[in-house]
Amino acid sequence: ICDLDEELCSIVAALSKILPDNEHLKMNFNMKDCIVENYETQITDPTDMASVIRTNIAYAKHKMPFTDLGDGKVVPTLKHKFFEGDLTGGLCLWKDIADLVGIKIPKTVEIILWNQKLVGKEYLVDGGKGWGKDAGDCLLPSKLGLTAKTLEHGIRGVGN
């Protein structure tokens, strides 16, 4: 989690240099603080990242579905938002923005490559150097024609 936190903060820092007038990018994007801000009343121990996750009552409501293999064996059900939606609309989005601003996020790439094998998809190829055949399932600003300088405008900024 610490590596992902550092990578997210490095993306924001790089964007802040490109878009210095963007007030949103001046906010604290530390993962722990973001979680505490969004779930403040539902966290009983905000001491550190582990306690924030462990004591977040809202997270306790998220149940991981399992598939019964018989003989008392179970495995996580891979056709679930934890393995699919959070990847295509989260980590792949981070990777695309990181590419746009010219920074490396190796832990994020490692997780994407591992996860895509689990769900039978190809979002990244060549060790994370290129987009694969299933990249169209992902939210990728670059595929919408956005650049690092037009990200803050969304698709309204394309062609400007």
Tens of each residue's pLDDT in the chain, 160 residues = 778 889 999 999 999 999 999 888 888 888 888 899 999 899 999 998 889 988 999 888 777 788 888 999 988 877 777 667 778 888 999 999 999 999 999 999 999 999 899 888 999 999 999 999 999 999 999 998 899 988 887 655 445 4
How high is the pLDDT of residue 59?
A: 83
- Between CA 135 and CA 118 the distance in angstroms is 16
- Between CA 79 and CA 7 the distance in angstroms is 27
Decide if 83 contacts 118 (C-beta within 8 A).
Answer: yes
3-state secondary structure (DSSP) of residue 130: strand
125: β partners: 130
**CB atoms < 10 A from the CB of 80, how many?**
15
- Between CA 154 and CA 107 the distance in angstroms is 26
**CB atoms < 10 A from the CB of 97, how many?**
22
